[in-house]
Structures are given as C-alpha cells and as structure tokens.
C-alpha cells in the first residue's frame, strides 16, 4: 500500500487530492494506494471573496463550503491540525494524538498573517485578509466622512499581490461615488521602489494612481504605528499621517513546517524546486500554493496550475516511471484578475519566462472576476477548469 498524505484543504490541497483520486482510481480500488487529506478546519474558504466583503457586498457565509463536499469520494478526510512532520518515521503527528504514516507527502498548508508582529497594528490598522477584518474595514469605510486614507503593504511576500492596489483603486472610486473625494486624500505605500513587484504591471498601474490622484510612496517599509499622533512610520525615516489606515499584514509560512525542520525560520517558506515542486531535494515531499518560497504571486491560480505537476510527480513515482507529458514540470504559470475600480479590470497572465502584458483595463475582465468568484466552488477545487 502506498500512502499519500496531503496537508491542507485549500485550493492546492483539494485540487491535488481530487486529481490524484482520478488518476489513481484503479489502484485505490485495488487497495494499492490510499489518499488522505488533513485539514484543520474541515472547511474550504474562498479567500478572494474577503476583498469583496470590504468592497463589494459579499457575505462571509457564501465563502465557505464543507471540505468533504468538494472532495471526490475515494479521498479520506481527516479534520485535525498537523502538529509535527516526523521525517524519520514518515508520519504526521496530529493534535488529536493520532500519527498518520505517509509514503508521499504534499504540503499545501498555505500561509498565515501575523499582524501582531507590528505593535498597534491590531487596534490602528484595518485589513481584509480575514472575513472578520474585511467586515471591520467595511464598517470603517461606512463611517468615514473624509480625511486621509493610507493603503499599504506592511511586508513582503503576501497573498494576492494585486489586492492592496485593487483596494486603493476601489476605495478611491467609492469616495467619488459617495461625494467624499474632494474632502479626502488617498495615499498608497509600497515597500519596494515601484508600485508592484513585476515591472510591466507596475508600468500599467502607476499611471492609474496618477489619474486617480492617489499619491504613491515607494520604499516605504512600515516600521511602527504611532496611535497617539495617528502616523505610520517607515524604516526609511518617513511618516504618513492617517485618518484611516489599511495595511496588508505581514505573512509567514506555517509554524508546523518551521518546527518540523522543513522550512527556515523566521519566514517559514518551504524551499521548493521551481520545476518539480519537490521540497529541499526530497524525492517524496512536494509543496504547492502559498506555502512555497517560489518567486511567484501567492495566488490561488498559482496553486491551481501547480497541482497537476505535483500530481504527475506522484503518479509517475507510484507507477515507477519518470514524469511525462505537459505536466511533467511547472513553468511558473499564473493568471490573476486585477480590479482597477469604476467597473473595470485587467488580467495578469505570466510564467517564469514571460512577464505579464496586461490588456487595457475594461469591463470584461472585471466581469470575468465576478463570474469566477460566483462559480469557484463548482470549478477550481473539483478540477473542472
């Protein structure tokens, strides 16, 4: 019996489990292969919807489904938290006390936010990286009657690189619609020397900041928040006063992978081969999605395009052959919608070798994102697109 254990029931883990179950169906029926997915929540959460709780009338209840309902029948689901990966014994230790043996391990544990790593973040800064925080931001925007709004990125890397830019653009549109634009300033701060990590996207976005009158502050690495003076201070020595502060919180990989010696502290990003998606040269351990250290967007679409490569790697090993076909290696493919406000959006499509060439923002790509959001649970985790 070959045992495949997948840690994490998000985009990457769920899709990997379902694709594996289909490719290895006969072997599962014969009792030669067993697939188990472990998820701490037992629920699959569509995180891109959080932004729309803050900016588009979305509701938290619509963004979550029981994980079991998304998994193909042959996949076993264990709802528990993995607390240790024992590589010597090839077992996963669960919080409930059980130990789960594996021959192949897929790490799809995503990442976590650590707002507490910046003093006063919790009480001063709004964000939209959990459903509750997004709703809090919505209320703060509803209560806003004019003043200075600062939107920024506290640290890199973080999930969904376009998200803070989108939020700045959407807030600016909203202020115009509500007749508050004249009474308000919108500032955007980026930790690096431009608006966005990828140069071509930065070139597309920078004029939009100018058009919308959003002041762009580059090389602004948040160092501290002064709640008395209501200013955010940068490591570079600048300070920006705010009435409403919206910051992407710092992110880290899961403590589990740090504690188990698979990912270095303090970041906790898994050292992942950019083509095979194997972790630290191990033949039987794979990673995908937000958990990796790959130089790519931490996006659901990244996990979506990585999953078939992890699956091919495992299926080939089970069948005793080399990975083959179009999913033999991962070439860095990512695709993200990008909202620019006023009912318009664009699309970022790229891979390791080809930077994105975003089309002129239009209504189609905005609608594309809305349709994608509405149909997500029927498509991506089930492997239908």
Partner 1 sequence: MTAVLETPPTVTTTVDARGSFCPGPLMELIRAIRESQVGDVIAVLSSDKGSKLDIPKWIEKAGHRLVSLTTLDGYDEIVVQKAR
For the CB of residue 221, give the shortest distance to partner 1 in the complex, in Å: 6
* Closer residue to partner 1 (CB): 269 or 286: 269
Query: In the Cβ-directed half-sphere of 209, how many Cα atoms lie within 13 Å?
Result: 23
Which residues are CB-contacts of 158 (< 8 A; sequence separation ≥ 6)? 248, 249, 250, 251, 298
- The Cα–Cα gap between 268 and 287 comes to 13
User: Could you give the string, one character per residue 146-185, with x where binding to ligand FAD holds by CB under 6 A and - elsewhere?
Assistant: -------------xx--x----------------------
Helix (H, G, I), strand (E, B) or coil at 34: strand
* Residue 51 touches ligand FAD, criterion: CB under 6 A: yes
Q: Which residues, listed in sequence order, are joined to residue 126 by a DSSP beta bridge?
A: 246
- Enumerate the β-bridge partners of residue 341: 344
Structure tokens at 251: 């992110």
Token duo for residue 244 = 């409403």
Residue 239 phi, psi (nearest 5): -140, 145
Q: Which does 237 bind (CB under 5 to 8 A by kind): partner 1, ligand FAD, none?
A: partner 1
Among positions 241-260, residues that touch ligand FAD (CB under 6 A) are: 254, 256
Are 12 and 289 spatial neighbours (Cβ–Cβ below 8 Å)? yes
Nearer to ligand FAD, 78 or 234 (CB): 78
Interaction site with partner 1 (CB under 8 A): 155-157, 191-193, 197, 219, 221, 223, 235-237, 293, 295
- Binding segment (CB under 6 A) for ligand FAD, from list 7-15, 22-30, 187-195, 270-278: 7-15
Q: Which of 210/364 has CB closer to ligand FAD?
A: 364
Site string for ligand FAD, 72-91 (x = CB under 6 A): ---------xx---------
Strand, helix or coil for residue 292: strand
Q: Which of residues 141 and 262 has its CB atom nearest to partner 1 in the complex?
A: 262
Q: Do 205 and 215 touch, CB atoms closer than 8 A?
A: no
Binding mask 181-200 for ligand FAD (x = CB under 6 A): --------------------
Q: Which is nearer to ligand FAD, 124 or 259 (CB)?
A: 259
CA distance 268 to 303: 18
Choose among 229, 166, 167, 165: nearest CA to 196.
165
| Tokens of residue 181, six digits | 């634009």
Number of residues that bind ligand FAD (CB under 6 A): 37
Residues that bind ligand FAD (CB under 6 A): 7-13, 38-41, 47-48, 50-51, 81-82, 108-110, 128-129, 159-160, 163, 254, 256, 289-291, 298-301, 303, 336-337
């Amino acid at each position: 019996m070959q045992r495949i254990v997948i840690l994490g029931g998000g985009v990457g883990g769920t899709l990997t489990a379902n694709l594996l179950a289909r490719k290895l169906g006969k072997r599962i029926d014969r009792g030669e292969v067993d697939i188990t997915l472990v998820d701490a929540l037992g629920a699959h959460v569509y995180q891109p919807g959080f932004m729309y709780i803050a900016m588009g009338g979305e509701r938290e209840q619509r963004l979550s489904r029981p994980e079991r309902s998304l998994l193909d029948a042959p996949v076993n689901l264990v709802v528990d938290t993995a607390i240790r990966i024992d590589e010597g014994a090839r077992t996963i230790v669960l919080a409930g006390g059980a130990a789960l043996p594996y021959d192949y391990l897929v790490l799809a544990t995503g990442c976590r936010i650590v707002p507490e790593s910046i003093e006063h973040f919790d009480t001063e800064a709004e964000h939209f990286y959990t459903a509750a925080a997004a709703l809090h931001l919505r209320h703060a925007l509803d209560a806003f009657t004019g003043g200075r709004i600062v939107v920024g990125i506290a640290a890199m890397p973080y999930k969904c690189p376009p998200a803070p830019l989108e939020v700045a653009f959407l807030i600016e549109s909203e202020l115009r619609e509500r007749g508050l634009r004249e009474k308000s300033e919108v500032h955007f701060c980026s930790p690096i020397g431009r608006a966005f990590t990828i140069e071509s996207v930065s070139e597309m976005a920078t004029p939009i900041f100018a058009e919308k009158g959003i002041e762009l502050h580059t090389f602004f690495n948040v160092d501290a928040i002064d709640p008395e003076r209501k200013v955010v201070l940068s490591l570079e020595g600048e300070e920006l006063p705010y009435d409403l502060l919206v910051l992407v919180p710092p992110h880290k990989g899961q403590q589990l992978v740090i504690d188990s010696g698979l990912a270095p502290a303090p970041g906790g990003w898994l050292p992942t081969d950019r083509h095979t998606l194997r972790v630290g040269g191990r033949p039987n351990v794979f990673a995908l999605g937000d958990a990796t250290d790959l130089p790519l967007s931490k996006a659901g679409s990244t996990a979506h395009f990585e999953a078939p490569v992890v699956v091919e790697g495992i299926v080939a090993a089970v069948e005793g052959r080399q990975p083959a076909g179009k999913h033999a290696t991962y070439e860095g493919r990512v695709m993200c919608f990008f909202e620019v406000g006023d009912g318009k959006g664009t699309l970022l499509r790229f891979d390791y070798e080809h930077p994105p060439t975003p089309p002129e923002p239009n209504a189609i790509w905005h609608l594309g994102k809305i349709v994608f959001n509405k149909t997500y649970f029927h498509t991506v985790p089930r492997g239908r697109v």
